[in-house]
Structure 1
Amino acid sequence: MATLSYTGTPATPALAQQRRHLAHHALGTDIDLTLFGSDSDHYLAEARTLIDQYEDRLTVNRVTSEVMAINHAAGKQPVQVSAATYTLVKQAVTLSQQQFGFNALIGPLVKLWRIGFDNAQVPSESAINDRLPLIDPNQVVCNDADLSVYLAKPGMELDLGGIAKGYIADRIQDYWEAYGQRAGMINLGGNLLMVGDSPLHADGLWRVGIQDPTTPRGTAIASVAIGACSAVTSGIYERHLEFNGKSYHHILDSQTGYPRQNDLESVTIFSKASIDGEIETTRLFFAGQPVPGWAIDRPDIYGAVFVTKQRELQVVGLPADSVTLLDPSFTLI
């Protein structure tokens, strides 16, 4: 997880002192919204409303939503949804079909393992094998003509949890910028989006902390100085299950039905759009290491920081002098 640092001398003290903040709980997490230099709390309140509206449409943790309507109709008939929901679902399905780790049809496996909930379990191999045919993204039909989505097999379930926060963060930024808000921070439970130049530092750069995977949230092992961007992390430390002396994390592999096994504790992506950060953290976490030529043709993807189980940090794409190691028990390579 990435965190924000507030150290340093504000570049424009008058602006920095005009900090407006709103805390909210939605999307299953604690949310913090901050604006600098704004003359009203209205833009924070409207951002909160946007979050709640998108959650109403996209959640799978309630009986009713647009996504749940699709799931309830699996194997029966297509379901028409709003244009925004359809666009996100189609993007998620298209990405899932590329088989790089992201899978928006992972719902049946997620509900089988229940990692992060009180009734989490290690399922039997037969139960896992029963679910694997239900997480095939090629069994989804998206119809542009009538904005409908059809899950071909009964028991299939869409779950947009791996992409929705990034999409929503980007929509909040769109709204703020449309109304001339010049600087702010969007924190959707660790999915960070920094808007505009930072008023907290003379160089106008934000300071983003890389979370220590072995300690509670908020402990940074390194700091990245960077301009306006999104910072999204995939890691194994937030949600996990301890059973018979073994730890199982929540990032499930569609090929095996079990948590993805590799040498990584986490990977953090810095990008222009938060939804791209969501996608690329999954891609690199499943790769387990830097990928040759990764994002070389993507100027909107700024770089990545890998944290390994050997307590090493590997930086890809970011300027070397932008990363400061804060914990000497880790090695910057």
Structure 2
Amino acid sequence: MPDMLTKQYYGLGTLITLSVSMPADETDLDAGYHVIKNMEDKFTVNRDVSEVMAINHAAGTNLWVSVSPDTFELISKSVKVSQLHKGFNVAIGPLVKLWHIGFKDAHKPSQTVVKKIMPLLDSTAIELDPAHQSVRLSRAGMELDLGGIAKGFIADAVRKEWIHRGVNSGIIDLGGNILLLGKGPHNGLWCVGIQNPNKTRNNILGSLTTTAKSVVTSGIYERYLTVNGKDYHHIFDDQTGYPLSNDLASVTIVSEKSLDGDIWATLTMAAGSKKGRIWLNKVDGIEGIFVTRDGSVSCTKGLKQDFKKFHQFSN
């Protein structure tokens, strides 16, 4: 892209690509990555030590764990959404760890073991103390997992940092979460390719033309486990203890904030294409593109002019 400086990093379990328009420079890119790594160090559950893991380790005790304002804000938001909507659950950690899809020790657990941990997925057992920025999990074995919301929160924080530093235009790509800043190269607009979830990476099924928005994609194609010829993806249903089973292969959410993109991508993946599309058409400022497992592509009313399917996906 002309007049843009791009640098790649690794973090959040994926390849991160940050781009800024000149006169912004490499120090702005590195400042963005510093925000990412700082927050990852607090939020991760894939290492033994982090602020979130300190909460998890103390589950079932009388110990309240004090955390930084960023961590408390994200957990509070996650708990609120978890208790308002089915399909999003910040207490899903024990289920994610049980299957561990995407890691070397991934396996399909027995139905007995799945059933045993289901009571631990209760977000109402998460206690918050705003006065002391503290969190407590009331049941032993509970675990928070911010994986369904952390990238969006972090992307918004990078954009805030860049605006503070005077960056006029840029792209934050956290692998599945794209957040755009300022005017794009296409008459001030941006053009974003939408991945075909039923094919390998970089197979694009259409393009979205947009102002500086967040574009978040959630899909079943990134990580999966194959057992006896059957694929099990990494997006779980907290009502069954097994991967979600509906018609969706992916959903892409277009919103102002990447945090909202993460939330609505998770909720609509759980809802399925028909219910999810009806749902989003009633929500101001949130639009969606739905791709089903059989290759059908549709979008919400607000994207009819902005999303263009390639001809082979005209159904």
Scaled by the length of structure 2, the TM-score of the pair is 0.95
How far has the Cα of 1:217 moved from its partner? 1.4
How far has the Cα of 1:293 moved from its partner? 4.9
Pick from 128, 131, 139: which aligns with 2:117? Answer: 131
Whether 1:281 and 2:259 are equivalent positions in the alignment is no
Q: Quote the residue 2:299 is aligned against.
A: 315
- The one-letter code of the counterpart of 1:264 is L
Q: Quote the residue 1:214 is aligned against.
A: 198
User: Do 1:311 and 1:331's aligned partners in 2 also have CA atoms closer than 8 Å?
Assistant: no
List runs of 5+ in structure 2 lacking aligned partners.
Answer: none
SS at match of 2:152: helix
How far has the Cα of 1:285 moved from its partner? 0.9
Whether 1:239 and 2:223 are equivalent positions in the alignment is yes
- The one-letter code of the counterpart of 2:65 is V
Which of 268-277 and 242-251 deviates more?
242-251
* Partner Cα distance (2:283, 2:106) in 1: 41
User: Do 1:114 and 1:120's aligned partners in 2 also have CA atoms closer than 8 Å?
Assistant: yes
* Partner Cα distance (2:52, 2:24) in 1: 37
Runs of 4+ residues deviating >6 angstroms? none
Whether 1:103 and 2:86 are equivalent positions in the alignment is no
* Partner Cα distance (2:72, 2:288) in 1: 30
Q: Quote the residue 2:46 is aligned against.
A: 61
* Partner Cα distance (2:279, 2:230) in 1: 35
* Partner Cα distance (1:38, 1:167) in 2: 26
Q: Quote the residue 1:259 is aligned against.
A: 243
How far has the Cα of 1:256 moved from its partner? 0.6
How far has the Cα of 1:296 moved from its partner? 3.2
Which of 268-277 and 30-39 deviates more?
30-39
Percent identity over the alignment is 44
Q: How many residue pairs were aligned?
A: 312
* Partner Cα distance (1:156, 1:213) in 2: 32
Does 1 or 2 have the higher relative contact order (CA < 8 Å, sep 6+)?
1
How far has the Cα of 1:204 moved from its partner? 1.6
Q: Quote the residue 1:185 is aligned against.
A: 171
* Partner Cα distance (1:298, 1:221) in 2: 26
SS at match of 1:193: strand
Q: Quote the residue 1:169 is aligned against.
A: 155
User: Do 2:24 and 2:167's aligned partners in 1 also have CA atoms closer than 8 Å?
Assistant: no
* Partner Cα distance (1:81, 1:293) in 2: 35
How far has the Cα of 1:311 moved from its partner? 1.1
- The one-letter code of the counterpart of 2:184 is S
List runs of 5+ in structure 1 lacking aligned partners.
Answer: 1-15
Q: Quote the residue 1:34 is aligned against.
A: 19
Q: In the superposition, relative to structure 1, how do residues 293 and 137 fare at CA in structure 2: closer, same or farther (>3 Å)?
A: closer
Pick from 92, 103, 107: which aligns with 1:117? Answer: 103
User: Do 1:222 and 1:323's aligned partners in 2 also have CA atoms closer than 8 Å?
Assistant: yes
Whether 1:43 and 2:22 are equivalent positions in the alignment is no
